Amino acid sequence: MTNMARRVTAIVVPGLAWATHFIAVYALISAACPPRAMIGYSHLVATVAAVTLAALAACLWSVVSGWGKTDNDLGGAAFWSGLIFALAIFADAAILFFFQGCGG
């Protein structure tokens, strides 16, 4: 893989990590919260925690690969992409701090 192809990958990977994470959290909530709960709430929390760590790791890879290249370049784009998606992933998972169950 050329240098530039690696940078493009590093821009897109955090996005894919965010998408996978979001779909996982949405699916887990949909499985745990309707009247016919298929999984328990504690399983929900544990799985979300694991998925979140994996997704954040992917973002970290991009941040590291773009480190020190925060100028007008695709390396900078990889760095900021990793950072922005990491914030978004964290926010999506942080909702679980506020609730002890499905709420409402």
Partner 1 sequence: MEAALDIFDAQWALNGAGVGASRTLWLTGIMTVAGIAIFALVMVFVALAWKARGEARTWWVVGGGIVFPAVVLFSLFVGSTLVLRAIAGGAEAAHVIEVTGKQFWWDVVYDPDGRAIRDANEIVLPVGETVEFRLKSADVIHSFWVPSISGKMDMIPGRVNRLTVTATEEGRFRGQCAEFCGLAHPLMAFEVVALPQDEFDAFLDGLEGEARDAVTPQERRGAEVFQTAGCIACHRVGGISDARIGPDLTRVGARASLGAGMWKMNTGNLAGWIADVRDMKPGADMPSYNHLSGPELRALVAWLESLE
Partner 2 sequence: MSVVENPSDYSGTRKGEDKSFEGVWDTPKGIRRLSSVSHRVVGRRFIYTGFVFFLIAGFLALLVRTQLIVPGNTFLDLETYNQVFTMHGTLMMFLFAIPILEGFAVYLIPLMLGARDLIFPRLGQFGYYCYLFGGIIVLSSFLFDAAPDGGWFMYVPLSTSAFTPDVSADFWLIGITFAEIASVTAAVELITAILCARAPGMSLAKMPVFAWYILITAFMIAIGFPPLIIGSILLESERLLDLPFFDPALGGDPLLWQHLFWLFGHPEVYIIFLPAAGMVATMLPTFVGKPLFGYGFTVAAVVSMGFISFGLWAHHMFTTGLPILSLSLFSAASTMVTIPTGVQIFCFIATLASGRPRLTTPMLFILGFLAIFVLGGLTGVMLASVPFNWQAHDSYFVVAHLHYVLIGGMVFPLFGAFYYWAPHFTGRMMSERLGRWVFWLMFIGFNTTFLLMHVTGLRGMPRRVATYPEGLGWDRLNMLSSIGSYILAAGIALFVFDFLRHKRKGAVAPRDPWGAGTLEWLYPPVTPGFNFHAIPPVKSREPLWDQPELLDNEAHRVEGVMRGIRDGRRETMGCDPVSGEPLYILRLPHPTWIPMLAAFGLAVLFGATIASFYWVSAVGGAIALVAFTLWGWEPSDSGVARDAGMGHRLPVNVVDRRSHTHVGVVGTVLVLMALFASLVFGVLYLWNVAPGMAGAARLPSVLPVVGAALAGLAVAGFGQLGRHAGLKDRFAGAALFALLTAISAGLALWALWAALKPIDPWATALGATLWAMAAFVAVNLFVTAYCALFNAVRRLSGQVEAGQCLPDFNLATYAKGTGLMVVATAAIYLAGALQGGAG
Of 43 and 69, CB closest to partner 2:
69
Cα angle for residues 94, 98, 104 (degrees, 5° grid) = 125
Our finding on whether 87 is near partner 1 (CB under 8 A) is: yes
Q: What would the two tokens of residue 90 be?
A: 């964290």
**Binding residues for partner 2 (CB under 8 A):** 2, 4-5, 7-8, 11-12, 14-15, 18-19, 22, 25-26, 29-31, 33-34, 36, 69-81, 84-85, 87-88, 91-92, 94-96, 98-99, 102-104
Determine if 70 is a binding residue for partner 1 (CB under 8 A): yes
CB atoms within 10 A of CB 80: 16
Distance of CA 8 to the CA centre of its chain: 18
Tokens of 87: 């914030």
Quote the tokens at residue 64. Answer: 């590291």
Which spans of this chain sit near partner 1 (rule: CB under 8 A)? 70, 80, 83-84, 87, 91, 94-95, 98-99, 103-104
